[in-house]
Amino acid sequence: MKTISCRFLDSQDENGTITIKPLGKAKNGVSKPMLPGWKDIVTEIVIDKEYTDGLDGIEDYSHVIIVYWMDKEKECHLKHHPQGRADVPFIGIFACRCPQRPNPIGISTTEIISVKDNIIKVKGLDVIDNTPILDIKPYTPQYDSALNAKVPEWVDKLDY
């Protein structure tokens, strides 16, 4: 069976520490995070040219999950009020999607607008300009979507 291999961007040392290099960057000219306001923002995900062929076939999906590194986040919270909102409970960082995490990895599901060469154009992605991109995954409801998922009521008060 045909396989074309590529170069790993990672390694892991004997203490379990992982080293990662981004695949590329997000380009959208947005200089600061905002809440809300991302819905109509168009972002170009520009990946290193050596990975261009890795995008073959992605145009047959409507959505992708972008995995990124929130490199401008300088706070790490164990517990807080999500989005700094006094009207929602004081909860753990793993019970919300806020960026102030021990490992500031973000994952966002976003609509594909176009794919050309080493660039995927997406709409509604909530990242600022130059955010490092770690991975691109096709959104696959069979795998990603949970039916009848339950969330706490305060989640509906937040901005997305």
Which residues between 108 and 137 bind a copy of itself (CB under 8 A)? Answer: 108-109, 111, 132, 134-137
Decide: is 87 part of the binding site for a copy of itself (CB under 8 A). Answer: no
* Smallest separation, CB 28 to a copy of itself (Å): 18
Residue 115 CB coordination number (10 Å): 19
CB of 116 to a copy of itself, least distance (A): 14
Would you count residue 145 as binding a copy of itself (CB under 8 A)?
A: yes
Q: Which of residues 29 and 53 has its CB atom nearest to a copy of itself in the complex?
A: 53
Minimum distance from CB of 34 to a copy of itself (Å)?
Answer: 15
Q: Where are the alpha helices (DSSP H) in 8-61?
A: none
- Show contacts with a copy of itself in window 9-38 (CB under 8 A): 9-10, 12, 16-23
In terms of Cα–Cα distance, which of 158, 155, 36 is closest to 95? 155
- Is 112:63 a contact under the CB 8 Å cutoff? yes
The answer to whether 54 contacts a copy of itself (rule: CB under 8 A) is yes
CA nearest to 106, candidates 74, 135, 138: 135
d(Cα 67, Cα 105) in Å, to the nearest integer? 7
